[in-house]
Amino acid sequence: VDLIRGEGKIADKSSVIVSGKKLTAKNILIATGSRPRQLPGFEFDETRVLSSTGAIMMEKLPKKIVILGAGAIGVEFSHILNAFGVEVHLVEMMDRVLPLEDAESSALLERAFKKRGITVSTSTKAASMTKSASGVSVVLEDKTGAKKTMEADQILVVTGRTPNTDGIGLEAVGIKTEKGAIPVGDFYRTRMPGIYAIGDVIQAPLLAHVASKAGEIAVEHIAAELQPARAPKHVPALIDPLSIPSCTYSDPQVASFGLPEWKAREQNRKYEKASFPYRGAGKSVAVEQTEGFIKVLIDPDTKEIIGAHAVGAEATELIHEILLARTAELLPEDIASMIHAHPTLSEAVKGVMQVVEGRAIDI
């Protein structure tokens, strides 16, 4: 692999210009990622008004910070800064933290955050902001229109990302973006033959493992076209959206894949649900991590696992056993009857499947 450092711009369907040098290839894969989205009135200066990039580079802790946006990034920074003793105010426009997760996961996380002293304001938006030499003054507005002003040393704005699709030469090859992102079809091909796009530029779930899996699929497809004899077998055309794990590294951890209840209802999809509390797994008591649950959504006719949600210690690890079951087309009874070592947190995974099967023993 040749690594050429510099800013690339597509010149035509088989060449890219980097620092005045033309590189040619049969295929081009666009993976230019995304950047923090600017919120009008809250422009980043990385001193008082931080983006996630600025927050990562932080050298001195603020005493008090307002974090706008309670998606995974806002939640993770709330967790980290609170652990360092910073007074954190987390503000979310939607009616709960982690609005894309199952509502029960959001509720448990919010309760845990409040117990840790993090102030959480949901159904609240930041209306305006003024900077001073010593900090920022943020006007927050709740859904009734009531306003209050909050003083802080800094404000961290993590309300979304913008795909890096401008200035990369898409117009030269006739690729039009949709809401800033590059539309793709099977194998992550764009509308221009030979050009592929993966990762944050296609606005798939903005996750590193989604970007790299899509990269594998695209590159294996390119390789198969170039060398049919060495083509890998069974390359999927796209990632199964119900099999993408999504993890928030806070305390408690939050992990999921597939459908949350709100989305199943939105899609008129029939489901059965089952939950198992961490407390039912002996190890959670031994390690004093009893807060949390594992919940699954099951198709009532086929018993297919269509969603899983875990909140608590090592939730981001535990989710993978259930995801393996889904991808291998196993049924809840397969996990329910498999021996899980005692004492482990994984017993909660067995436990939730026993609940599905109507034969729970440990609760």
Ligand X SMILES: Cc1cc2nc3c(=O)[nH]c(=O)nc-3n(C[C@H](O)[C@H](O)[C@H](O)COP(=O)(O)OP(=O)(O)OC[C@H]3O[C@@H](n4cnc5c(N)ncnc54)[C@H](O)[C@@H]3O)c2cc1C
3-class DSSP state of 156: strand
Query: At 207, phi and psi to the nearest 5?
Result: -135, 145
In the bound complex, what is the minimum distance in angstroms from residue 349's beta carbon to ligand X?
Answer: 22
**Contact call for residues 120 and 70 (beta carbons, < 8 A):** yes
CA distance 238 to 259: 18
Nearer to ligand X, 204 or 306 (CB): 204
Binding mask 170-199 for ligand X (x = CB under 6 A): -----------------------------x
Q: Please report whether residue 346 would count as binding ligand X according to CB under 6 A.
A: no
Q: Please report whether residue 112 would count as binding ligand X according to CB under 6 A.
A: no
Task: Please return the burial class of 164, using the count of CB atoms within 10 Å of its CB with bins 0-12, 13-18 and 19+.
Answer: middle
Binding mask 146-175 for ligand X (x = CB under 6 A): ------------------x---x-------
CA triplet 5, 165, 17: central angle to 5 degrees?
Answer: 40
DSSP secondary structure code for residue 214 in this structure = H
In the bound complex, what is the minimum distance in angstroms from residue 7's beta carbon to ligand X?
Answer: 4
CA triplet 113, 37, 10: central angle to 5 degrees?
Answer: 140
Residue from 70, 73, 170, 184 touching ligand X (CB under 6 A): that is 73
Part in contact with ligand X (CB under 6 A); list of ranges 140-148, 200-208, 221-229, 298-306 = 200-208
Whether 342 is a known active-site residue: answer yes
Q: Please report whether residue 32 would count as binding ligand X according to CB under 6 A.
A: yes
Q: Which of 79, 89, 221, 342 is catalytic?
A: 342
CA triplet 254, 105, 324: central angle to 5 degrees?
Answer: 55
First to last CA, the chain: 54
Q: Please report whether residue 78 would count as binding ligand X according to CB under 6 A.
A: no
Q: Please report whether residue 319 would count as binding ligand X according to CB under 6 A.
A: no
Q: Please report whether residue 81 would count as binding ligand X according to CB under 6 A.
A: no
Q: Please report whether residue 22 would count as binding ligand X according to CB under 6 A.
A: no
Residue nearest to ligand X (CB): 199
**Contact call for residues 134 and 13 (beta carbons, < 8 A):** no
Residue from 98, 206, 315, 352 touching ligand X (CB under 6 A): that is 206
Binding mask 282-301 for ligand X (x = CB under 6 A): --------------------
User: Which neighbouring-strand residues pair with 247?
Assistant: 255
Please state, in angstroms and as integers, the Cα–Cα distance from residue 298 to each residue in 175, 293, 294, following that order.
40, 16, 13
In the bound complex, what is the minimum distance in angstroms from residue 14's beta carbon to ligand X?
Answer: 17
In the bound complex, what is the minimum distance in angstroms from residue 117's beta carbon to ligand X?
Answer: 23
Q: Please report whether residue 52 would count as binding ligand X according to CB under 6 A.
A: yes
**Contact call for residues 42 and 126 (beta carbons, < 8 A):** yes
Distance of CA 265 to the CA centre of its chain: 21
Q: Please report whether residue 8 would count as binding ligand X according to CB under 6 A.
A: yes
Q: Please report whether residue 217 would count as binding ligand X according to CB under 6 A.
A: no
The two tokens of residue 316 are 């981001």
3-class DSSP state of 69: coil
In the bound complex, what is the minimum distance in angstroms from residue 142's beta carbon to ligand X?
Answer: 27
Catalytic sites, residue numbers: 342
Q: Which residues contribute to the site for ligand X (CB under 6 A)?
A: 7-8, 31-33, 52, 73, 164, 168, 199-200, 206-209, 211
